[in-house]
Structure 1
């Protein structure tokens, strides 16, 4: 196992009817900017429930944060904070709202002489301070409710970049599985696949004898495989929704990635698909991952064999046959969740590949993966294999 420094200060308040605990979690004298996405938070009553819990604190709303939060929208919130001096942010929504809130928290206190987009260009390394914030999670997927990272899209630049900083952990996150009951099937499917690929990016690399991390990761993957389809078939099954919510949080709170190599090439290529073509993040992962695994199966052979045997319980055949079967089962699982796994499923053909690779190179993504051997040429090969 590699050396590591694991730190996670986020308090998790989990369970039904836990939004009321906001009264104890937020300072009485806080001036709060309440951030959310579309109208669903209002229609379902979650926003009203939050405001009731906050009582007579000063609260102002800022809505309209997109499913892939854009710099353009987030900067409007930054300007509002600077003008009105809010001192606490509360995100109500899924990973996109929480990601956006992290950027806002840092950008609001960023040097006013500099463009806050440089936060993204420096992957968060230039963040010196950030406003405190908490979250009320309504869509399990990204794990943003318990980590220090986020992804933001710049529409004008057609760029989607990640950032992280120890200064943007949520102080707390409230996770009420009941709040997921009214989500569309598409969002639940996306959330399951997103959590699955988050786990894979930290697990399917090469062995370093991280036995605890491996078993945790395998347990998360098997849990998602077992209950992912049930989440679509039984939308008000509390046990299923609770376990999916917690699995998605555990997939990216730093625990399974501590002391082990990590990949993330699938994510970086997927980001370009979202930035250029607006495809849901999880769906880009479902497109890219099977190709990444197939083309890189020699460098990942030991862990892919372990994945085949422990996660998919494949015991027959040669090592290569086991690996191929595991990759095929992974793709079939995504399809079972109702998610297309080829570029053609989204109306894209070979002519779209070169511009994607050009954008990937422009953003400096030229040595990806746990070995740094995923070149733009290899990423192009992956995308062509997914036509």
Structure 2
């Protein structure tokens, strides 16, 4: 193991922590509050933030959509530059937070913001970001990664830059009380796959990372099995904290990582507007079967330590257990469940993967276009 690890996000966890906003954001700052469709005005979060920002100079930008588009985000960039905004407060889930990270970086860049996603511009500086988390899933509230879509070209790309690491995050699990079941289910799948991308590779003897990853996976399995308790405070608290720990950088420190499931899934979201978690639940089992020879030892370790499995064909048993887990919370595991067929894969998905210069993928960089085709075809029934 060889790594450097630093997580600069100060987390305020628990009910009523929105009052910390006024202490975290300098009184002299000119703040832009960013959010999505407006649910925060119906569930009381907006009112809490307004109270916390009393005495601050602030304005707002609404309408950041799920899978945030650069077309929408660039409007916020223009607002930031025009009004001299110097602090951003993201109020929402991963999409709003990721979009805010893009805005924070693009506002400090004179060129076209998409250069950040295409790799033409390396982010060195960004406006400071605070977060009020309303949907636990992505861990974006305390990491330096973001995913943004360009609607015009059906591209969904990511970037990583320490400069956009949020300065603080308010994590109040009680905000989950008004979330629809679909978002809670997606959150379980999203967090679970985040751990798998960092854990299901090959053994390296990293006992802390492996052990911590397995604890999070077992916790998420337990939350899924107790899904009927999803409106209880304990369920919500554990869901929010597990989703955060799944992608704050710790379990991936010094170990090989995959991320092919995410890369392929991004193409499905961009083309068919599937939920991010839906694409992960479709791609992961198919990818694990296609890549099983190189992942057998970790799959077997996961089967024993997470699902308490034993006996022959342990790797395949583990993949089946993952599929059962996803379906138990209502998230389907094949492209056919979303009316996407082999023709769609051949004529839309594979050309998009080829055009977007994302290959090769996987921890061994051995997933080429042919293997992408094999993975996707495995996820189509019949």
TM-score tier by shorter-chain length is over 0.9
Q: Give the secondary structure class of the aligned counterpart of 2:357.
A: coil
Partner of 1:236: 231
Q: Does 1:329 align with 2:329?
A: no
> SS in structure 2 opposite 1:300?
helix
- Contact 2:224–2:325 (Cα < 8 Å) also in 1: no
Aligned residues: 379
> 1:350 aligned to 342, 346, 365, which one?
342
In structure 2, the partner of 1:375 is 368
In the alignment, the residues of structure 2 paired with residue 138 and residue 376 of structure 1 have an alpha-carbon distance, to the nearest angstrom, of 37
Tell me, what secondary structure is at the counterpart of 1:156?
helix
**Aligned pairs (5 A) from 1:167-206:** 167-206=163-202
1:198-254 CA distance string (max 9 Å, x none): 000000001111010000000000000001243x42233111111110111110000
1:314 lines up with 2:309 in the alignment: yes
Q: Distance in 2 between matches of 1:251 and 1:128?
A: 26
Question: Which residue of structure 1 lines up, in the alignment, with residue 206 of structure 2?
Answer: 210
RMSD: 1.0
Q: What's 1:115 paired with?
A: 112
Query: Would the aligned equivalents of 2:29 and 2:57 in 1 still touch at CA under 8 Å?
Result: yes
User: What TM-score do the two structures reach when normalised by structure 1?
Assistant: 0.96
Matched, 1:271 2:266: yes
Q: Structure 1 stretches (4+) deviating beyond 6 angstroms?
A: none
Asked if the contact 2:143/2:249 (under 8 Å) is kept, the reply is yes
Q: Secondary structure at the match of 2:197?
A: helix
Residue 153 of structure 1 corresponds to 149
Could you report, residue by residue, the CA deviation over 1:123-146 in whole angstroms, capped at 9, with x for unpaired residues? 8x6112100010000000000000
Pick the aligned partner of 1:135 from 122, 131, 134. 131
Out of 379, 383, 386, which is 2:379 matched to? 386
**Contact 2:124 2:161 (C-alpha < 8 Å) held by counterparts:** no
Q: Which moved more, 1:100-109 or 1:55-64?
A: 55-64
Q: Could you tell me which of 217, 223, 231 is aligned with 1:221?
A: 217
**Structure 2: tracts of 5 or more residues without a match:** none
Q: Distance in 2 between matches of 1:168 and 1:186?
A: 29
- Counterpart CA distance in 1 for 2:216 and 2:278 is 20
> How far apart, CA to CA, are the structure 2 residues paired with 1:279 and 1:69?
13
> In structure 2, what is the Cα distance between the partners aligned to 1:5 and 1:339?
36
Aligned residue number for residue 358 of structure 2: 365
Residue aligning to 2:330: 338
Q: Can you give the 5+ residue segments of structure 1 that lack an aligned partner in the other structure? A: none
